[in-house]
Chains A and B, each alone.
Chain A
Amino acid sequence: MAIRRGRGVAAINYPTGMNLGGDPTQALVHSTPTGNFMVTLSSVDLGQGMKQIMAQICAETIGVPTDRVVIDTADTDTGPHCMGTFASRGTHRAGNAVIQAAKEARQVMLEVAAEELEVNASDLETDGQGNIQVKGAPQKSISIFDVALSAHFKRGRSISGRGMFLIPRSYPEKETGAMKPSTCYAHACTVAEVEVDDETGEVTVLAVKNVFEIGRALNPKMVEQQLVGGSWMGISHALYETTEPYYPNRDHGGTDFNQYLMPGPGDLAKTEIIVLERPSADGPFGAKGPGEMCANPQIPAVANAVFDAVGVRVDTLPITPERILRALKAQAAG
């Protein structure tokens, strides 16, 4: 009986969004009288950072500082339609919709500025600080604050835009059955190092090294935050979490946090995160969806590491001490 070490590797592709009859998200953008920009969405921020990312995307497109953008996700009944924040689709689908809405709003903003400055709208640019200026003659400029005031009180214009992003429904080809259920794949690879006690069946994950290819990281610190938390969650799925430990028999499921286990702050594996940025062709500023895929590669990597350590294939999750001991017993029985 001994503590045995093992190392496992696994790589995954992970889609952005899904396609159960078309995958749409819509967005509306409008300016306040003082030149702040409201983005109205039904895509909800539940901690993944949706509001921050949409503010960055809108600000970048219109050409204003991020703190000039307010995100309103207050009401999914009355807001523009969104399929929802699931399937890692939020940044990609809502981001593309926000870009389209913000472009239209920017165009109206430039038209109003052009009237104020008595130039052509196509000769104008934003300075990113809240002003609009003539290309090549930045001394001729007007603040976006004044442009918004003019639009509201003088010119009767609405500086606003409509955004719509739709991945149309994909039907299977008759001959081959091939279809496109999702788009914009992200990729990841994990190397896991474990120790397995072949007497108790207990697994300790010593370290995980993760590489994630996620398009472009629109907010690198928030991406890192997702990936670190996701890596932990992947280990948790591999070794601990289940509501149905004897599935399909539904007995003995955990009913509270004493029984539904997860690794705590004392059980953390040494975690390394490497981000590869390969901007996607159809993503907002090249982004893909890193949300869910970051919790996936750890699971097969840990399973492979357990196999490397003690020579048994546990193909049911989570890989509990009981399952390992049963597999070892079966192996010994030949």
Chain B
Amino acid sequence: MAKVPVQFMLNGSEKAEFVESGTTLLNALRDKIGDTSPKGGCHQGTCGACSVIIDGELRLSCLTLAETCIGADIKTTAGLAEGGVLHPLQRAFLDAFATQCGFCTPGMIMAAKVLLDRTPNPSREDVVEALSGNICRCTGYEPIIQAVLLAARANSQNAA
């Protein structure tokens, strides 16, 4: 099949690749570029494990074609830590024991990041709503909800 060039920003650095036309962003990120933080749970838009942020919006990378991302600004969980210091959301997921097998975690963190970027002091209902497209087998969700609320509190303390 014909290959198409794609080029975009990934976590602040420029990436360029040839992919087969029709390749999903998820597969391009994982298999071509080597960012395995987005996970393929269902490849059909029902689990949220593949969530990434494209131009500030939460997107399912399994339903996004790589060739539609040309020139886009893409963020994944792998790009969150800065200089070895975990992002407040990552820290909060650890502190709240909100991850077990970890398969859902990068998607959960992406969904939570878009929420906190827009709503720095979310209510519990806001958090539930933001996570409702993401499935977790292990935690029972409550620890994840608590982690997001914890990260929001930590952020507002740092800002104060």
A residues apposed to B, CB below 8 Å: 46-49, 221-222, 224-226, 228-233, 256-258, 262, 264-266, 268, 271
Cβ-defined contact, A265 with B132, below 8 A? yes
Cβ-defined contact, A258 with B46, below 8 A? yes
- Contact residues in B for A262 (Cβ distance below 8 Å): 135
- Contact residues in B for A224 (Cβ distance below 8 Å): 97
Given contacts A221-B97, A225-B143, A228-B143, A257 and B138 within 8 Å (CB-CB): no
Instruction: Report the separation of the CA atoms of residues A230 and B129 in the bound assembly, to the nearest whole angstrom.
Output: 23
Cβ-defined contact, B140 with A256, below 8 A? no
Interface residues of B in 121-138 (CB under 8 A from A): 127-129, 131-132, 135, 137-138
Our pick among B101, B129, B145 for the contact of A47 (Cβ within 8 Å) is: B101
Instruction: Report the separation of the CA atoms of residues A47 and B137 in the bound assembly, to the nearest whole angstrom.
Output: 11
- Contact residues in B for A271 (Cβ distance below 8 Å): 140, 142
- Contact residues in A for B131 (Cβ distance below 8 Å): 265
Question: Given A221-B97, A258-B46, 15 other A-B contacts at CB below 8 A?
Answer: A47-B138, A225-B139, A226-B100, A229-B143, A230-B140, A231-B140, A232-B139, A256-B44, A256-B46, A257-B42, A257-B47, A264-B132, A265-B132, A265-B145, A268-B142
Instruction: Report the separation of the CA atoms of residues A222 and B46 in the bound assembly, to the nearest whole angstrom.
Output: 28
In the complex, the chain A residue whose C-beta lies closest to that of B41 is A257
Number of interface residues of B (CB under 8 A): 25
Instruction: Report the separation of the CA atoms of residues A238 and B44 in the bound assembly, to the nearest whole angstrom.
Output: 27
Looking at the assembled complex, report how far the CB atom of A257 sits from the nearest CB atom of chain B, in whole angstroms: 4
Interface core residue of B42, B135, B141 (most chain A CB under 10 Å): B141
Give 5 closest A-B pairs by Cβ, nearest first. Answer: A47-B101, A232-B140, A47-B100, A257-B46, A265-B141
Cβ-defined contact, B140 with A228, below 8 A? yes
In the complex, the chain B residue whose C-beta lies closest to that of A227 is B140
In the complex, the chain B residue whose C-beta lies closest to that of A263 is B141
- Interface presence of B120 (CB below 8 A): no
Our pick among B99, B135, B143 for the contact of A264 (Cβ within 8 Å) is: B135
Interface residues of B in 83-109 (CB under 8 A from A): 97, 99-103
Instruction: Report the separation of the CA atoms of residues A226 and B100 in the bound assembly, to the nearest whole angstrom.
Output: 8
- Contact residues in B for A225 (Cβ distance below 8 Å): 97, 100, 139, 143
Instruction: Report the separation of the CA atoms of residues A226 and B137 in the bound assembly, to the nearest whole angstrom.
Output: 11
Looking at the assembled complex, report how far the CB atom of B149 sits from the nearest CB atom of chain A, in whole angstroms: 12
- Contact residues in A for B144 (Cβ distance below 8 Å): 265
Interface core residue of A48, A49, A228, A229 (most chain B CB under 10 Å): A229
- Contact residues in A for B42 (Cβ distance below 8 Å): 256-257
Looking at the assembled complex, report how far the CB atom of A184 sits from the nearest CB atom of chain B, in whole angstroms: 23
- Contact residues in A for B132 (Cβ distance below 8 Å): 264-266
Instruction: Report the separation of the CA atoms of residues A114 and B128 in the bound assembly, to the nearest whole angstrom.
Output: 59
- Contact residues in A for B145 (Cβ distance below 8 Å): 265
Given contacts A46-B101, A47-B101, A229-B100, A268 and B141 within 8 Å (CB-CB): yes
In the complex, the chain A residue whose C-beta lies closest to that of B98 is A225
Instruction: Report the separation of the CA atoms of residues A267 and B33 in the bound assembly, to the nearest whole angstrom.
Output: 37
- Contact residues in B for A222 (Cβ distance below 8 Å): 97
A selection of 12 A-B contacts at a CB cut-off of 8 Å is A47-B102, A221-B97, A229-B138, A229-B139, A229-B143, A232-B141, A257-B42, A258-B46, A265-B127, A265-B141, A271-B140, A271-B142
Instruction: Report the separation of the CA atoms of residues A228 and B142 in the bound assembly, to the nearest whole angstrom.
Output: 8
In the complex, the chain A residue whose C-beta lies closest to that of B135 is A257
Cβ-defined contact, A228 with B139, below 8 A? yes
Interface residues of B in 30-48 (CB under 8 A from A): 42, 44, 46-47
Looking at the assembled complex, report how far the CB atom of A104 sits from the nearest CB atom of chain B, in whole angstroms: 32
Instruction: Report the separation of the CA atoms of residues A258 and B135 in the bound assembly, to the nearest whole angstrom.
Output: 11
- Contact residues in A for B100 (Cβ distance below 8 Å): 47-49, 225-226, 229
- Contact residues in A for B135 (Cβ distance below 8 Å): 257, 262, 264
Instruction: Report the separation of the CA atoms of residues A89 and B100 in the bound assembly, to the nearest whole angstrom.
Output: 18
Instruction: Report the separation of the CA atoms of residues A265 and B145 in the bound assembly, to the nearest whole angstrom.
Output: 8
Given contacts A222-B97, A229-B100, A264 and B141 within 8 Å (CB-CB): yes
Looking at the assembled complex, report how far the CB atom of B110 sits from the nearest CB atom of chain A, in whole angstroms: 15
Looking at the assembled complex, report how far the CB atom of A220 sits from the nearest CB atom of chain B, in whole angstroms: 10
- Contact residues in A for B129 (Cβ distance below 8 Å): 266
Cβ-defined contact, B140 with A268, below 8 A? yes
- Contact residues in A for B142 (Cβ distance below 8 Å): 228, 232, 268, 271
Instruction: Report the separation of the CA atoms of residues A263 and B63 in the bound assembly, to the nearest whole angstrom.
Output: 24
Our pick among A48, A49, A266 for the contact of B128 (Cβ within 8 Å) is: A266
